[in-house]
Amino acid sequence: MEANVEARPVIKIEAPAVRQDEGALPAEQHELKMAARDVNLWYGEKQALFDVSLDIFARQVTALIGPSGCGKSTFIRCLNRMNDVIEGCRMKGDIALDGEDVYAPQVDPVQLRARVGMVFQKPNPFPKSIYENVAYGPRIHGLAHSKAELDEIVLKSLIRAGLYEEVKDRLNEPGTGLSGGQQQRLCIARAISVDPEVLLMDEPCSALDPIATARIEALMEELKETFCIVIVTHSMQQAARVSQRTAFFHLGKLVEVDETTKMFTNPSETRTQDYITGRFG
Amino acid sequence: MSDAQTVDRQQPRMGDWASADSRRRLRRRYAADRRLQAYGIIAIGLAVGLLGVLVTSLVITGAPAFLQTKVDLEIYVDPAKVDAQDPAKGNFRLLVREAMTPYIPTDATDKEKTEVTKILTSDAAYILRDYVVAHPDTIGKRITLPIAVSDPFDQLNKGVIPKKVEALTWSQELYFERLKNRDVVVEEGGRTSLKLDVYIDPAKVEMGPPPSGDFAALARDSLQAYLPDVHDTALFALLADDVPDAIKLRVEADPSLIGKTVQVVFPVAQPVAELAKGETPMVLNPRFSPVQIQAFEAMEEKGIVRTPFNWDLFFNADSRFPERAGLAGAITGSFYALLVCFLLSFPIGISAAIYLEEFAPKNRLTDLIEVNINNLAAVPSVVFGLLGLAVFLGFFGLPRSAPLVGGMVLSLMTLPTIIIATRAALKAVPPSIREAALGIGASKHQVVLHHVLPLAMPGILTGTIIGMAQALGETAPLLLIGMNAFIPSVESMGVLEPATALPTQIYSWADSPERGFVSRTSAAILVLLAFLVVMNMVAVALRHMFERKW
Amino acid sequence: MIGYILLAIVALSAVGYYLGRRRALVSVDGRQHELHSRPNYHGAYVAAWVGIPSLLLVLAWLALQGPVINQLLLWSLPLGTTDGLEQGQIDLLLSEIRSVAAGNIFGEPSLVVQEAAERYQRWQAIAAYAMVVVALSVALIGLYLTSRRISPEFRARHGAERVLTGLMIACSLIAILTTLGIVLSLLIEALRFFERVSPLEFFFGLNWEPQIPIREGQVTAGGAFGAVPVFAGTLLIALIAMTVAVPVGLYSAIYLTEYAHPKVRATVKPIMELLAGIPTVVYGFFAVLTVAPALRNFGEMIGVPIAPNSAFAAGAVMGIMIIPFVSSFSDDAIAAVPQTMRDGSYAMGATKGETITKVLLPAALPGIMGGILLAVSRAIGETMIVVMAAGIIATLTLNPFEPVTTVTVQIVTLLIGDTEFDNPKTLAAFALGLVLFVVTLALNVLALHIVRKYRERYE
C-alpha cells in the first residue's frame, strides 16, 4: 500500500469531442475530471453493468437517471470503489480520476474515498454529536493539527452545507436528533469536510420532503462551483433542474449521455425519449 | 457566501495525499486496522484453544479409566469354607487369600501376606461371593475369576504412576552439590562420605563411660553449619543412618574430645552415594511395599494380569473403591430425573406456549406471565435448588434425594426453554394454514390441535431436547435437594428412592481423595459430554429433517 | 397406594369418555349429524369432569395431609408437653414420633411418644382411606352430573374446549407460581434468619463464620454472619471472570462479524458456542484438574505464591464459560448496526478498523453493555465452578491469588447434608439466596431494558 503513491500510471483516455453547437456550455466547463471506459460489473454470477463509458467534467453536476435497478447506483459506487466492500463483487474496465487509474493496485481505496466523497439515499449520520459527525473525516485522515483547526474545518463545512445557522447552538447534540433534511445536509457537511474533489450523491433527496429537497438542490448549485458533483436521481425534474449533463441508464447499459438541455428536449435515442416522456420506468 | 467560494477555488486542496506525511499516516492507519484484526484472531484462538485444552486434558486423564487392570485369579472354592446350602455365608476372604498364596514369598510375615492381598480390590471377596452364589455348582471346583486390582496397582499397570521414584529431591541434590563445592565430599573405604568439623558440645554429651547423648543432633548441627541458610530437614537425610555411631566411636576412643571440635568422616546415605557416582538414585515408590511388587511381578510373569475394557464403569454403581466404581447408579438417577422432568415440562410447556401464542388476550396478566418466563430463564440455578428445598422438601414433605424432586426442580428450569422454543415454532407456522382450516369451519381449538401443533412439532421437539440436555448437565439444584446420595447398588433405585445423577456423581468423585477417582471423574465427564453431544445431534438432525420452506 | 388411586381415576375417566360418547350416539339413534358436537367431544367432556377435579383433590390432599396431621398430633399431646419448646425441638419431637410409627425405634421412646406414634399411624390410615373415598366419590359425582347433561343440543365441544383452555391457562400460571414460590420461600426463610441475626450485621458485618457446630438445644447459639467478605469474594471472582470474558468475547465478535470470511464464521461460531453448552460441573473439574495446578506452577516459577483454590483460577475458568455470552450478544449488537452506518464511514475513507472502533462499537455499545450485564448476572449466580474451585473460608481480600468464597459457594456448603430449617446456619443460605435472586433479577431487568431500548432505536 505504501508503494509510491506518486508514481501512479496515467492511463490514456482521450477527451471526447466537445460539442460546439448552439446552447452548449462554454469550453472552460469541460475540464475532464473522471472517466469510465468499458466498465462491466458482476454481483456473483449476475452482471449489473455492461460496457459503460462515461465522462464526468469538473465544476458541473452530472445526473444519472434511469428506472430502478438500471445500475446507476452501482455505477457511482464504482467511482469511489465502494463496491470493494461488497462480497462477491467483480469489476472489469477502467475508471480514471484526473487521468489516474482508480483501480490501479497502488491506489488506496481509503485515500480515494477521501478524494471522491459520497452522500447516500437515506441520511445516515453517525450516532454521535453534530460536531463529531463532521469532525469524523478530518480526524481519521489527520487533516487538522490542532483543536482550533478542527473547529475551523467543522465550522466551514457546516456553513458550506448551509446547516450552520440551524445547529450552531447545539453542536454537541446527537446528529440523529435533527430532521431528515437537516440530517442529509449534515451528511453533506460530513462529506465535504475532507475537501473531496468529486462528490457522489446517491438519490440524496428521495427520503426528503419537497422543502428539504429544494434546499439541497440550492446547495448543490453552490457546491458545484467547488466540487465535481455526480447525482443519481429517479426524478427527471430534479435532473433537469440541477444538472448540466445527464446520462440515461437502462438495464445496466448507458443508453445516452448528453447535455441536460439537449437530453430533455431532443434526445437521440427513442428509449430515452420514452423514459423521459413517462412511457416506462 | 459567494465570496467564500471564490476564495475556495483559489486555495489548494486540503489533503496533499501524495506527501510523505500522508503516506506515513496511512501506514499507521492500516497498521491499526491489522492490529484490531490480529486481536480478533488471538481472541478466537484463545477461546477455541481453551476449549481444546479442556477437552484434551479430560481425554488424557479420562482415557485410562476406560480400561481396568484385572487379575485372572485361579481360586479353589473349598467346600470346607463355603457351605453349599448357604453359599452366601462362606469365608470368601480366606478363599481369596489362599488363591494369592502362590504369589507370596514363603517366608513372608502375616503383615506382608495381608499387604499382598491388598493388590486386589477390597471388594474381591464380594466379587467371589456374588459369583459363587450365582453359580453354586462351582463349589468344590477350581475357577478362574477376573478380579480388579486395587487403584495403585491399576495405575502402576497403566503407567500412570511409576514403580520407582527418584530418591532425592531436587533441593537435596542441590545441597549435595553445594557440599561438594565446599570440598567436604570424600571417598573413604569405598564409601562416599562427608568430612565435617564437629563440635562435641558438652551440653549434649554425657561423659560416661560409656559416653552417651544425642550424637545425631551433633551431626545435624555440624552439617547445618556448612549450609547455614538452609532450613530444611531434608538436608539431614543426606547422611547415612549410622552417623551417630561414627561420633560415638570417636568420643569413646578419646573422651577428652568433649568440648572440642574434631573432624569426623560421615558416610552418606545410599542414594547420595549413587548420586556421587553420577547415577540417578531411584527407590521403590512409597505407595508399594517390596513384597507387593514381588507378588505383582510374579502375576505379570504368569500372564494373568490383563487390562480389558472397563465395562464396570458403565454397569457398576458407585463404590468407595475407584477400581469398582461405576456410573450405572448415576445414569439411572439422571434417567429417572429427566423422565420426570420431561413428563412435567413437555405437556405443561406446550400448553402454556399454545395459550400464550394462540389464545391469550393482550392484558396485564399475560404480560406478567411473559415477563415471568423471561426472568425465570435467567434466575441462577442454585436459586431453583433453594426453591426445591424449601417448597418440595420443606413444605410438601417429599422425600429428600429422590429423582422425583430432582425432576420437578429441573422441569421448572426447563419450562422457560420449552415455552420459548414452542412459541417460536408456533409462530413459524404460516397464517395461511390457520386461515385455511378456519375457512372450512374448524374451531380455533381444532385449528391449533389438528393443524398448527403437528406442523410445529419438530421445532418443539428440538427445543425440548435442548432443554433436556441443559437439565442433564445441571448440578447445583440437585446438590441442594440432596441428589448426590451414595448409591452402591442400582437395584434399590426408584423415582422416590434416594439417588444420584451424572453431574452430581462427577462432583462427588471430583471431591474424593483417591487418585483413581481423578481419572474416573474425567471418564464420567466424557460420558456426560457424549450424552449431551448425542442429544444435540438428534436435535440438529430433527431440525434438518423437518426443515420446511413455507 | 397413590399409584392405585391415580390409576382408578384414569380408569373412571376412560369409562366416562366411553359413556359420554355412547349416550350421545344413543340420544340420536346413531344419526351423528343431528348432534351439535361430535360424539368424541361428549366423551371428552365427561372424562374431563370425571378426572380433573378428583385428580386435583388428590394432589391437594397429599400436599396438605402431612401438615394437618402434624398439627393434630401436637394438639393431641398431653397438655404442657410442648410448653417452652423451640420450633426446632418440636420438629425433632414430631420426627421422632414419625420414625417410631415407621418402626425405627432408637433407644426407649417415652410413653407420650409411643401413644402419639400409634395415633399417628391410625390417622395416617384413616386419611388414606378417606382420600380414596372422597376422590372416587368426586369422580362419580362428576360422571353422574355431566352424563345427565348429554343431549343432541348439548354444546359438548364448547364445554370440552373451555376445560382445555382452563388447563392451558393453569399451565401458563406455573411461571408466575414458580416466581412466587421462589420469592416467598426465600423471603420467609430469610425473615426467620433476620429474626435471629440482625440485618445490620448481615449486610455490614466483616466476619463470616457460620460453620460453628450447633448441637441440639443450642439452636440459637453461634456463628458470625457478616456477609461482606462473601459479597466481596463474589464480586472479585465475577470481576476476574469479566476481565477474561469481555476482551476475548468482544474481540472475537468483532472479528467474526466484520473481518471473517462467511465460511470461517460459519465454522467458528458454533465452536465458540460449544463453550456455553458444557455443563458447569465440567468447568469446575477443569479448574481443579488443569488450571489451578498450572497457575500454581507458574506462580512458583515467578515467585508468587498462588493458592490452589485462588480466586484467579475460579474466575478465569468462569470467564471461559462466559465468553460465548459476551461474544454472541456483542455479535448481535454489532450486526444490528445498520449497513448505512458502515457505508457512511467507508465513504468517508475510513479503514475497516476505524469504522469498527469509531462508528460500529459506539453505536452498538448499549447492546454490548446489556450483554455484559447479563454475563455479570450469570457470573454472580454461577455455582459449580466456584463450589469446586474457589474457597470456603470467607476472607476479605483483593488479592486474586488468595482463596475467597462466594454467595453460591456458601449456599451450597451451608445446605449440603443438613436440612433442619431451624438454625441460623441453614437459614443464612436462604438470606444469601434472597440477595442473589434480587441482584441477578435487577441485573437482568436492567440488561433486557437496555437491549430492548437499543433494538427499538434501529427498527
Interface predicted TM-score (ipTM): 0.87
Q: Are B509 and B341 in contact (CB under 8 A)?
A: no
Residue A64 pLDDT greater than 70, yes or no: yes
β-strand B142-148 against B70-76: which pairing, if any? antiparallel
Q: What is the pLDDT of residues C163-182, one digit of tens each?
A: 889 999 999 998 889 999 99
Question: Which of chain B's residues have a Cβ under 8 Å away from the Cβ of A195?
Answer: 13-15
State how far the Cα of B356 lies from the Cα of C168, in Å rounded to an integer: 9
State how far the Cα of A172 lies from the Cα of C132, in Å rounded to an integer: 77
Residue with grid cell 514369598, as numbered in its chain: B105
In B481-515, which residue ranges form alpha helices assigned H by DSSP? 502-511
Q: What is the pLDDT of residues A29-39, one digit of tens each?
A: 568 889 899 99
Q: What is the pLDDT of residues B263-294, one digit of tens each?
A: 888 888 888 888 887 788 888 888 888 888 88
Q: Which of B244-248, B487-491, C302-306 is the least confident region?
A: B244-248
Q: Which of B195-199, B320-324, C99-103, C129-133 is the least confident region?
A: C99-103
Write out the residues of chain C at the interface with chain A, using a CB-CB cutoff of 8 A.
262, 338, 340-351, 354, 358-359, 362-363
Encoded amino acid at C233, one letter:
G
Which among C338, C349, C358 is the nearest to A110, CB-wise? Answer: C349
State how far the Cα of B12 lies from the Cα of B417, in Å rounded to an integer: 64
| A115 interfacial to chain B (CB closer than 8 Å) | yes
Q: Are C206 and C396 in contact (CB under 8 A)?
A: yes
As a whole number, mean pLDDT of residues A245-267 equals 89
The rounded mean pLDDT for chain A is 85
Q: Which chains touch C (3 or more CB pairs under 8 A)?
A: A, B
Residue A127 pLDDT greater than 70, yes or no: yes
Separation in Å, CA of B464 to nearest CA in chain C: 15
pLDDT band per the 50, 70, 90 thresholds, residue B105: confident
Number of other residues whose CB lies within 10 A of the CB of residue B374: 16
Number of other residues whose CB lies within 10 A of the CB of residue B256: 8
Separation in Å, CA of B27 to nearest CA in chain A: 7
User: Which pLDDT value is given to residue C102?
Assistant: 73
Residue C234 pLDDT greater than 90, yes or no: yes
Q: A127 Cβ partners below 8 Å, 6+ apart?
A: A174, A175, A176, C341, C362, C363
Separation in Å, CA of C294 to nearest CA in chain B: 12
At B74, give phi and psi (nearest 5°).
-90, 120
The rounded mean pLDDT for chain C is 85
**If DSSP codes are grouped into helix, strand and coil, which group holds residue B106?**
coil
State how far the Cα of B176 lies from the Cα of B196, in Å rounded to an integer: 13
Percentage helix, strand, coil for chain B under 3-state DSSP, each rounded to 5: 60, 10, 30
Residue A256 pLDDT greater than 80, yes or no: yes
pLDDT band per the 50, 70, 90 thresholds, residue B172: confident
pLDDT band per the 50, 70, 90 thresholds, residue C210: confident
Q: Are A184 and A25 in contact (CB under 8 A)?
A: no
User: Which pLDDT value is given to residue C348?
Assistant: 92
Share of chain C above pLDDT 90, in %: 36
Question: Which of chain A's residues have a Cβ under 8 Å away from the Cβ of B5?
Answer: 222, 225-226
Residue B98 pLDDT greater than 60, yes or no: yes
CB contact under 8 A, A226 and B9: yes
As a whole number, mean pLDDT of residues C130-150 equals 86
Instruction: Name the nearest CA neighbour of C280 among C321, C250, C252.
Output: C321
CB contact under 8 A, C320 and B47: yes
State how far the Cα of B206 lies from the Cα of B208, in Å rounded to an integer: 6
Q: Are B189 and B237 in contact (CB under 8 A)?
A: no
As a whole number, mean pLDDT of residues B354-379 equals 88
Q: Which of C259, C345, C348 to mutate to test the interface with A (most CBs of A within 10 A)?
A: C348
Residue of A nearest to C357 (CA): A140
String of DSSP letters for B154-167:
HHHHHTSS-SEEES
Would you state the cell numbers that stand for residue C255, as one nine-digit string? 472479528
Q: Are B142 and B274 in contact (CB under 8 A)?
A: no
Cα→Cα distances B500→B183, B334, B345, C27, C384, Å: 64, 7, 21, 56, 16
Helix (H) or strand (E) holding B349: helix B328-354
State how far the Cα of C126 lies from the Cα of C22, in Å rounded to an integer: 37
Instruction: Name the nearest CA neighbour of B477 among C415, C278, C171.
Output: C415
User: Which pLDDT value is given to residue C385?
Assistant: 94
Q: What is the pLDDT of residues C33-75, one digit of tens each?
A: 777 778 888 888 888 888 888 888 888 888 788 778 878 887 8
Work out the angle at residue B279's Cα, subtended by the Cα atoms of residues B274 and B285, and round it to the nearest 5 degrees: 75
Number of other residues whose CB lies within 10 A of the CB of residue C86: 12
Q: Report the range out of B200-214, B222-236, C163-177 with the highest average pLDDT.
A: C163-177
Who has greater pLDDT, C259 or B21? Answer: C259
Instruction: Name the nearest CA neighbour of B18 among A108, A57, A192.
Output: A108
The separation between CA B256 and the C-alpha centre of its own chain, rounded to angstroms, equals 64
Which among B5, B8, B15 is the nearest to A141, CB-wise? Answer: B15
Q: Which of A224-238, A242-256, B197-211, C310-324 is the least confident region?
A: B197-211
As a whole number, mean pLDDT of residues B134-148 equals 89
β-strand A89-97 against A32-43: which pairing, if any? antiparallel
| A157 interfacial to chain C (CB closer than 8 Å) | no
User: Which pLDDT value is given to residue A231?
Assistant: 94
Calculate Rg over the CA atoms of chain A.
Answer: 19
Q: Which of B22-26, C105-109, C200-204, C254-258 is the least confident region?
A: C105-109
Instruction: Name the nearest CA neighbour of B383 among B265, B300, B521, B480.
Output: B480
Q: Are B39 and B503 in contact (CB under 8 A)?
A: no
Q: What is the pLDDT of residues A184-206, one digit of tens each?
A: 999 999 999 998 999 999 999 88
CB contact under 8 A, B4 and A159: yes
Encoded amino acid at A250, one letter:
H
Q: What is the pLDDT of residues C264-275, one digit of tens each?
A: 999 999 898 889
| B508 interfacial to chain C (CB closer than 8 Å) | no
In total, chain C counts a number of residues equal to: 459
| A5 interfacial to chain B (CB closer than 8 Å) | yes
